[in-house]
Amino acid sequence: MTLEQRFLKYVAFDTQSDPKSETYPSTAKQLALLNHLLEEMAELGLHDVEIDPNGYVTGTIPATPGCEAAPVIGFISHVDTSPDMKGSDIRPGIIEHYDGSDIALNDRLTMRAADFPELAFYKGHRLIVTDGTTLLGADDKAGIAEIMTAAEYLTTHPEVKHGTIRIGFTPDEEIGRGVDFFDVERFGAKFAYTMDGGFEGEIEYENFNAAAAEIAVQGRNIHPGYAKDKMINALQVACEINALLPAAQRPEHTEGYEGFYHLVGLEGTVERASLEYIIRDHSREKFETKKHYLADAVALLTEKYGEGVIRLTLKDQYYNMREKIEPYPEVIEKAIEAMRQAGVAPVVRPIRGGTDGARLSYMGLPCPNLFTGGMNFHGKFEYCSVDTMQRAVQTIVNLARIWSESRQADSLPFAETKKN
């Protein structure tokens, strides 16, 4: 099976996660793809292939003879797709040789090159796009296809030297629960890489600090003709809360290291309303400031409307992995070298998002994020480059070989290495 065939097969699975669900995985349909991957890994001859009660699928590519002492490394991707956009009945379109022009997704919707300047880089590439009615699922089925294709290559090319390699597939990353029950010790890797990035050459080890905020507003509905000094319109209170947050700190006005408040849900009536936000910032200090600012806004309006009208629930989701990656510079250095050997120009930059790797890094498994070739995630303008996906596969293969050349001492942090 080719890389492209794998990808198209995987995106046919509807694996959308559900933030409202209390089960794990949040949707049973994710298990269909997870069990398919379980079977495929076994067919490829991987060892220790299993799915645990929480849906995590893992397997092992044993070390080639003479490389058993190399550090164990892992490659991880998530199976779920974003709940922000329809993820079922996906009908991918193929552009054989992209010419740099606008792309008609259907009769009514066009992806304009002027709106998405990154398209210029992919001129000449083979692209896979949506039909304009769903997301594509490159996030993160491109990563899954790349890991599985690299696994097939390594198992059928024993001349490529490598240490023990662990592979893992997780559910529910898109809703922040991807590694809630991931057993790092059982996974057994010294380091790992999530294949969950986008633009060709991306290597990311700085991500947002992240929190979710839910605000419930209890209004007081009175006939509008007799409402003076009696009615509390929950929808109007919700609008006041949003108006108190800095408009310049919204996703559509920020880039690079700038954080934001993102209103992702708003619903209600005069009697009752709710708002859902995600809060993001690379700086831990600014992240904490943003949370306090929101709490202060709620407190201010509580003084205006009284106790019991507004209820704020704040929950941290994950933190910037940089401080957990920096003690192990070889994790980044080897990824950069693997990319260069694959003909890829490395692009080190912060993730304006998060990955399972961020939380795994805090759980004791340093885990930066690498490119997959997918772009415009979570929406109908999502696409991916097959050419870039192929280079991602080569990067994985190169990493496996490069790590096999490492001594165990290479896996110690700078401070420990200097003592020896």
The whole-number pLDDT of residue 127 equals 98
Q: Is 371 exposed, middle or buried (0-12, 13-18, 19+ CB in 10 A)?
A: buried
Predicted TM-score (pTM) of the model is 0.84
80 is catalytic: yes
The whole-number pLDDT of residue 355 equals 83
For domain 209-318, the question of CATH label 3.40.50.300 is answered with: no
- Using CA atoms, how far apart are residues 63 and 404, in angstroms rounded to an integer? 9
The whole-number pLDDT of residue 418 equals 32
Q: Give the pairing of strands 191-195 and 369-370.
A: parallel
The whole-number pLDDT of residue 411 equals 40
Residue with tokens 């998405």: 116
Q: Name the nearest CA neighbour of 95 among 141, 136, 155.
A: 136
- Using CA atoms, how far apart are residues 183 and 193, in angstroms rounded to an integer? 16
Higher-confidence position of 270 and 318: 270
pLDDT tens-digit profile of 94-109?
999 999 999 999 999 9
The whole-number pLDDT of residue 363 equals 95
Residue range(s) in the chain whose domain bears CATH number 3.30.70.360: 209-318
- Identity at 370, one-letter amino acid code: L
Residue range(s) in the chain whose domain bears CATH number 3.40.630.10: 3-207+320-416
pLDDT tens-digit profile of 362-412?
999 999 999 999 999 999 999 999 999 999 999 999 999 999 997 543 443
40 is catalytic: no
pLDDT tens-digit profile of 44-87?
999 999 999 999 999 999 999 999 999 999 999 999 999 999 99
- Using CA atoms, how far apart are residues 413 and 330, in angstroms rounded to an integer? 9
Q: Is 40 exposed, middle or buried (0-12, 13-18, 19+ CB in 10 A)?
A: buried
Residue with tokens 């990319």: 339
Check if the beta carbon of residue 374 is closer than 8 Å to that of residue 198. Answer: yes
Please write down the HEC assignment for all residues of the chain.
Answer: CCHHHHHHHHHCCCCECCCCCCCCCCCCCHHHHHHHHHHHHHHCCCEEEEECCCCCEEEEECCCCCCCCCCCEEEEEECCECCCCCCCCCCCEEECCCCCCCEECCCCCEECCCCCHHHHHHCCCCEEECCCCCCCCHHHHHHHHHHHHHHHHHHHCCCCCCCCEEEEEECCHHHCCCCCCCCHHHHCCCEEEEECCCCCCEEECCCCEEEEEEEEEECECCCHHHCCCCCECHHHHHHHHHHHCCHHHCHHHCCCCCCEEEEEEEEECCCEEEEEEEEEECCHHHHHHHHHHHHHHHHHHHHHHCCCCEEEEEEEEECCCHHHHCCCHHHHHHHHHHHHHCCCCCEECCCCCCCHHHHHHHCCCCCCEECCCEECCCCCCCEEEHHHHHHHHHHHHHHHHHHHCCCHHHHCCHHHHHHC
354 band by pLDDT with thresholds 50, 70 and 90: confident
Check if the beta carbon of residue 212 is closer than 8 Å to that of residue 176. Answer: yes
The CB density around residue 22, as the number of other CB atoms within 10 Å, is: 6
pLDDT surpassing 90 at residue 123: yes
Residue with tokens 């379109």: 93
Q: Which of 4, 40, 173, 196 is catalytic?
A: 173
pLDDT tens-digit profile of 6-29?
999 999 999 999 999 999 999 999
The whole-number pLDDT of residue 412 equals 38
- Using CA atoms, how far apart are residues 128 and 118, in angstroms rounded to an integer? 15
The whole-number pLDDT of residue 407 equals 56
CATH H superfamily, domain 3-207+320-416: Zn peptidases (3.40.630.10)
Check if the beta carbon of residue 273 is closer than 8 Å to that of residue 217. Answer: yes
276 band by pLDDT with thresholds 50, 70 and 90: very high
Average pLDDT, integer, range 205-217: 95
User: Which two tokens mark 361?
Assistant: 């890094």
Q: Name the nearest CA neighbour of 189 among 8, 420, 399, 337.
A: 399
Q: Which of 4, 14, 40, 80 is catalytic?
A: 80
- Using CA atoms, how far apart are residues 231 and 34, in angstroms rounded to an integer? 51
